[in-house]
Structure 1
């Protein structure tokens, strides 16, 4: 083995065993990236007997020289630094180690920038890309006097150093970058990893897919306004207490279907029966007295008793009417939607108190609570679909009949009540009080408008409130 080969083997062993930790310690012992890379470049030049070591980082697609051995400051506009950066770009673009002059048996490479770098100096130069997670982020350029040519073991040592120090250099550099620059680079790396492929067919397919998605955003689609909705009877009749009294009987509860003239509840009638008997007795007494006066031709008594008899008849008719109204009857066929009187038996009621509410069982109206932000899109006779909570698998068609002109405030939101008419012949499964979600067809709009108009409207109001 020659003396040079022995020296190179000893150098490689020394680099592998001892110096890597020292190089890493040099990087980590300095607070700033520029200081750390300058110290590292100087130490590499001393340890490896090199004329000059330069470290560069890729920024905006081009290499920027960040550190040169034995130099405290780096001027990017200096001609030598430009040539070093060009040599680093040349190696990074080919993703390969470049050595000039070429070594025997090496793969041919483009090395015009390396030739320009050493022109006139007679030096040797080599550039190794720095890699982190498979992506090139920088490069290290070594320069040496041509009197001692690079040996394969030395090149292997350079590769070993770059492979071990690359991730540490990346962490040091990336940690000092602004957050938005890191996010941009991570996104670019992700995009290049997934979409920057050499397969032309795949690229064309991705471009076509992207164009298709963009076109979909501007193609007019059906825009629907969603809002809470509830079913109500087309007529809701309140059945009230006709007189003061006590609830005696209750025959129905909410949800029960009833027929016209069916008795639903009764008030206590004992007092009314007593009153009827009293007026019947008085009427008979006045009629007898009238008959006696008529027999005696007493005109005065005849007139008096006739008047009292008429008054008794009127009071008797009134008492009988009250007795008939003590029975609460259904005015039409329907279903009870409010009033559980079985819990109030024996309780006093006042004249005018609502006892029951009845609605038709086969005639409904749909009440939709449209948010104030969407009411401008709602028009009369617009069609829509209703999905009830009790029938989630079915939808009912309806059309808009009326838009209430005044807003309603409820549960910290403002909405307008929109009345709709349900278009279906099967009403057997429907009940007043059912709730669901209604969707009103509000015309054609671009998909991107449908997705963003709420946000744009909110931003406009917010900026106006701020005076912008």
Structure 2
């Protein structure tokens, strides 16, 4: 057996290894011919003959040998012809046909690998009778030891299509067997799940990061250049319409008012003196300068009336802490405070550019806020911004939505995640369409057209 195994493993491919095994076995047993075959497409095909005589063109003889191998494989037992009386009776029609052609004795031993009959070894003796049962057991041991090695070498050299076909065929056989009941149940459940994933539509939602804003945001700016005198509110404070929020210092404006008031008085006096002298030229000049001083005085009075910043509506301060900037200089137009209504909100949803094509005005969804994770709020899309913006390395469109429920804990500036229902699609499509779209773009860009 060691010599037979050494003859096989000394060759890297099936043909030379099987020929070496057949030749070594023929030499050891004194056979006239040893043939090795494997099942292919349900019939045995001879792959090697002892002493390398496979390609001599004797196709009829090879068919007869293959038929004898099929006869032994179908009975899953060693078959000898002429059949000795001490062995169990077997079907030996193909073997007897081979004996009539060649003469002598024919013995076929099946090759078994993991309870599967994969091939056979056929021994031909021109002279001599049936082998002794003890010797026959030794032959079967030799074939059982070396046969699987040849089978795996053949399996590794077969084309992948044939290997796949054999694997599917074995799987189908195992599935139809009585022991495959659990496998059939699992396969049925898998097919049902696959059908659900591919065919049953579910609600498909898109969305992204979201933030809550006031429906109206009013910015309070510095009306004039000056200095901050006092601040009466801070972010988060609720305010009422007309309430004073902050105040600028009025000293500079008061000095400027006094200046223009003094100039107005001077020009009015000059106007009276010119009228008394009947000096028309001086009268016109004094009247024009008085009008200028009067306009400047009115402008300063208007600025003095606006140094107090008052709330335009009931709301809440959402931005601008001036308590740490008292006495700081401000310029006209500087943003000091931002106000928003207390009970009117809108939601801004950042939708990825790959999903914006499915979003429509009127679609509904849900909003989950980080501050209110235990509940989700219903929303409806009211507007879609037509321009994209870059956020964290990706292009997003801002979708504006209105809330139909407003809990007491809702505040402008809260952030969370919003999902908008855009239709019904199978789960398999929802899970894979991003990858498929990415592959399409990649393929298109790679092909260049």
TM over 0.5: yes
Deviations 1:390-412 (A, max 9, x none): 44443322222233344445555
Deviations 1:319-371 (A, max 9, x none): 34334434444333334444455676665544323333333232222333334
Q: For the aligned residues, what is the CA RMSD? A: 4.2
CA positional deviation for 1:421: 2.0
For 2:205, the equivalent position in structure 1 comes to 225
Size of the alignment, in residue pairs? 443
Choose the corresponding residue for 1:237, options 218, 222, 226: 218
When residues 140 and 270 of structure 1 are mapped into structure 2, their CA distance, relative to the original with a 3 A threshold, is farther
For 1:367, the equivalent position in structure 2 comes to 348
Structure 2 residue 18 is the aligned partner of structure 1 residue 25: no
When residues 348 and 65 of structure 1 are mapped into structure 2, their CA distance, relative to the original with a 3 A threshold, is farther
SS in 2 for 1:243: coil
Choose the corresponding residue for 2:22, options 26, 41, 60: 41
When residues 48 and 428 of structure 1 are mapped into structure 2, their CA distance, relative to the original with a 3 A threshold, is same
Deviations 1:158-180 (A, max 9, x none): 33223332453344334445567
For 2:60, the equivalent position in structure 1 comes to 79
Choose the corresponding residue for 2:422, options 441, 457, 463: 441
When residues 307 and 40 of structure 1 are mapped into structure 2, their CA distance, relative to the original with a 3 A threshold, is same
For 1:126, the equivalent position in structure 2 comes to 108
For 1:197, the equivalent position in structure 2 comes to 177
When residues 252 and 82 of structure 1 are mapped into structure 2, their CA distance, relative to the original with a 3 A threshold, is farther
CA positional deviation for 1:117: 4.4
CA positional deviation for 1:196: 4.5
Distance 1:340 1:257 in 2: 14
Distance 2:156 2:408 in 1: 69
Q: Confirm or deny: 8 A CA contact 2:72 2:79 kept in the other structure.
A: no
Q: Confirm or deny: 8 A CA contact 2:175 2:184 kept in the other structure.
A: no
When residues 426 and 460 of structure 1 are mapped into structure 2, their CA distance, relative to the original with a 3 A threshold, is same
CA positional deviation for 1:42: 0.9
After superposition, residues 31-430 of structure 1 pair within 5 angstroms as 31-59=12-40, 62-74=43-55, 78-92=59-73, 96-101=76-81, 113-120=94-101, 121-131=103-113, 135-145=116-126, 147-177=128-158, 191=171, 195-198=175-178, 205=185, 208-209=188-189, 212-231=192-211, 232-247=213-228, 249=230, 254-280=235-261, 282=263, 289=269, 311-339=292-320, 341=322, 348-426=329-407, 428-430=409-411
Q: Confirm or deny: 8 A CA contact 2:380 2:402 kept in the other structure.
A: yes
Moved more, 303-312 or 329-338: 303-312
Distance 1:345 1:86 in 2: 108
Q: Confirm or deny: 8 A CA contact 2:362 2:380 kept in the other structure.
A: yes
SS in 1 for 2:51: coil
Q: TM-score, normalised by structure 2?
A: 0.78
When residues 357 and 425 of structure 1 are mapped into structure 2, their CA distance, relative to the original with a 3 A threshold, is closer
Q: Confirm or deny: 8 A CA contact 1:38 1:72 kept in the other structure.
A: no
CA positional deviation for 1:192: 5.4
Q: Confirm or deny: 8 A CA contact 1:127 1:140 kept in the other structure.
A: yes
When residues 48 and 338 of structure 1 are mapped into structure 2, their CA distance, relative to the original with a 3 A threshold, is farther
Q: Confirm or deny: 8 A CA contact 2:80 2:106 kept in the other structure.
A: yes
Moved more, 277-286 or 157-166: 277-286
CA positional deviation for 1:110: 5.6
When residues 391 and 60 of structure 1 are mapped into structure 2, their CA distance, relative to the original with a 3 A threshold, is farther
Q: What stretches of structure 2 of length at least 5 have no aligned partner?
A: none
SS in 2 for 1:142: strand
Q: Confirm or deny: 8 A CA contact 2:111 2:144 kept in the other structure.
A: no
Q: TM-score, normalised by structure 1?
A: 0.76
Q: What stretches of structure 1 of length at least 5 have no aligned partner?
A: 1-18
Q: Confirm or deny: 8 A CA contact 1:130 1:140 kept in the other structure.
A: no
Deviations 1:222-255 (A, max 9, x none): 3413221413322222333333345555555555
CA positional deviation for 1:436: 0.8
SS in 2 for 1:70: helix
CA positional deviation for 1:438: 1.3
Distance 2:174 2:161 in 1: 21
Moved more, 176-185 or 118-127: 176-185
Q: Confirm or deny: 8 A CA contact 2:208 2:419 kept in the other structure.
A: yes
CA positional deviation for 1:203: 7.0
Moved more, 177-186 or 237-246: 177-186
When residues 339 and 160 of structure 1 are mapped into structure 2, their CA distance, relative to the original with a 3 A threshold, is farther
Q: Confirm or deny: 8 A CA contact 1:41 1:53 kept in the other structure.
A: yes
